[in-house]
Chain A
Amino acid sequence: ILNVEQSPQSLHVQEGDSTNFTCSFPSSNFYALHWYRWETAKSPEALFVMTLNGDEKKKGRISATLNTKEGYSYLYIKGSQPEDSATYLCAFNNYGGATNKLIFGTGTLLAVQP
């Protein structure tokens, strides 16, 4: 059974704080690692898809790194804002591009207090 673990489960920070969370995944047969942002009452939206060991991706104040050899990815948010409040999901693809099947973690719920 392949497991994707995310930590912490939830996080409360003040506006302006920088924060990070972790996604752990099996290091064998790696194909891609996805990060999604999921706001309450909406549907998940893709942030990043990373495929290479050492990949770093950035979108505004949000960035992510990938270590496929040890099986982890970090998501960083610099200067958190209330609109960053959401659940952040990571998902692991070890099936390759023929199906693009993903195994999702349970997410990290971020609440940013103004």
Chain B
Amino acid sequence: NAGVTQTPKFRVLKTGQSMTLLCAQDMNHEYMYWYRQDPGMGLRLIHYSVGEGTTAKGEVPDGYNVSRLKKQNFLLGLESAAPSQTSVYFCASSSRNEQYFGPGTRLTVT
């Protein structure tokens, strides 16, 4: 099993550009999450999903959109990137217990 995978691993964007980060899991988990991790701060929840076709806002949702069209995939979109969105993004999935994390995507917005 691959567990949780994320693409891409690294990306540099210019302000105003858009992109989509892909998260995939092969553990048949119902729940999936997108977090961002910034220096001196804990992992902060952006959006999450409790099942295929459902999404909900987390702690810091502004500037991001998500979709969960298939159970195994959770997409995070940035419509118009801003330098404040420079961060490391982690995807996670879970059943009802521990969360399993992907390797992260390092995004720089210039």
A contact residues vs B (CB 8 Å cutoff): 4, 32, 34, 42-46, 49, 89, 91, 97-107
How distant is B41 from chain A, measured CB to nearest CB, in Å? 6
Judge whether B90 is part of the interface by a CB distance below 8 angstroms.
yes
Which B residues lie within 8 Å of A105 (CB)?
Answer: 42
Interface pairs (16), CB distance under 8 Å: A32-B97, A34-B98, A34-B99, A43-B4, A43-B101, A43-B102, A44-B90, A44-B99, A45-B101, A46-B97, A46-B98, A46-B100, A49-B98, A100-B31, A103-B45, A106-B42
Pair A89/B50 contact, Cβ less than 8 Å? no
How distant is A102 from chain B, measured CB to nearest CB, in Å? 7
Pair A101/B103 contact, Cβ less than 8 Å? no
B contact residues vs A (CB 8 Å cutoff): 4, 31, 33, 35, 40-45, 48, 50, 56, 58, 90, 94-104
Which 6 residue pairs are nearest across A and B when measured between Cβ atoms? A46-B98, A104-B42, A43-B101, A104-B43, A106-B42, A97-B96
In the complex, A89 Cα to B69 Cα: how many Å?
Answer: 31
Pair B31/A99 contact, Cβ less than 8 Å? yes
Which A residues lie within 8 Å of B101 (CB)?
Answer: 43-45
How distant is B5 from chain A, measured CB to nearest CB, in Å? 11
Pair A106/B41 contact, Cβ less than 8 Å? yes
How distant is B104 from chain A, measured CB to nearest CB, in Å? 6
In the complex, A19 Cα to B50 Cα: how many Å?
Answer: 37
User: Which among A44, A49, A100, A101 is the interface contact of B58 at CB below 8 angstroms?
Assistant: A101
Which A residues lie within 8 Å of B97 (CB)?
Answer: 32, 46, 49, 100
A89-B43, A107-B42 given; A100·B96 CB < 8 A: yes
Interface centre among A49, A101, A105, by most chain B C-beta atoms within 10 angstroms, is A101
Pair B50/A99 contact, Cβ less than 8 Å? yes
Q: Closest B residue to A106 by CB, please name it.
A: B42
Pair B98/A106 contact, Cβ less than 8 Å? no
Pair B31/A102 contact, Cβ less than 8 Å? no
Which B residues lie within 8 Å of A99 (CB)?
Answer: 31, 48, 50, 56
